[in-house]
Structure 1
């Protein structure tokens, strides 16, 4: 048997998240069906990150096991011929037997996009979080620096998260003001709690609105109190960018 690694890009708008769901279309199920058409085997794929409904990805990673003789690098071409246009296998390769898309990961990088404009965007409506009031970008940048390092991020975990520890390390967080009134938040870390990046984004929006002071962030982290952080920003602004191995 051989193990094949996939790097996957997808627009999550039309899917009920990555993971297979009952009576709902998911990215994982769509790819598994394509592999079944290709190989004739009901092969399960294992993804690194269980992205939520509406979340997008440039760098999701998954693996599957097969006895097919197709060269590893050719799987991307073969599977893409059987996928809808909003899911693309960007790269495929054969990897060592001990590789695991989830458990071998050393960290992840996410991007969150905010469309800061009085009027919503027809084109970006499923790809950004629309915020009408003008945000104080410099204050948001000042607040962001407090998130770096290793902390207990219990205040930034949504209800429903099931983990042994809420301690995580953020390697870096960078805010960029882009063209067309876009604000990008890029966060890299060892791992993330349930909705953690979306809550960080929502908290930084509150800072930009003046609802939370930038210097309050350390106290909010220390409090481990979810009610003190900002709201969970919408899923459509979130992108899984890269998995580190």
Structure 2
């Protein structure tokens, strides 16, 4: 375990060093070209997945049909790794993100450049309305709008409500919604240094077509994401039922 912790620490250090190097290297060109900003971020995501595989022994895998065109992508959020995987694999992904992240060095500026939508979560009603308005403005760039329907990172096996903001976007911009399951939190936790070897998976499911009512949409979204995420975690040897028994 000590060796794996040290390998994880080395991986994390180089990950942020390379983030700084690539971020500065692509910064000026990205000011003039959104495509360059997207390329730089995808290159960094590929670097993280590659170094993760041989430094830590954690492979990454994508399953299901990759979404293209203008769709909402509603994903299970367990750690920073699912952000890396979504950004790296989606053709033109952009996130609904916390406003505070706008001010994060390097990441914040690139996020704005590729079309991510910052929202203030402090005032829920105003935030939902502004989220929908900002998304409508942001649709001038074709792409996949990524939202985390539970609003934050959720540890494997922990239950948390699905928030109404995803339905508001779905209703307002009238796009299909692609649910995404994940097991990545088993290997790359929300906090701590240790990264475990194994196979981190995200799975894209069939789109939920536009036009469903709130109750039907929210129930379908939650059932699909939770059932498939639990299946992926069980495949990796995690006993979801044991966690629920301890609640």
TM-score by length of structure 2 reads 0.25
Give the structure with the higher percent strand. Answer: 1
Give the structure with the higher percent helix. Answer: 2
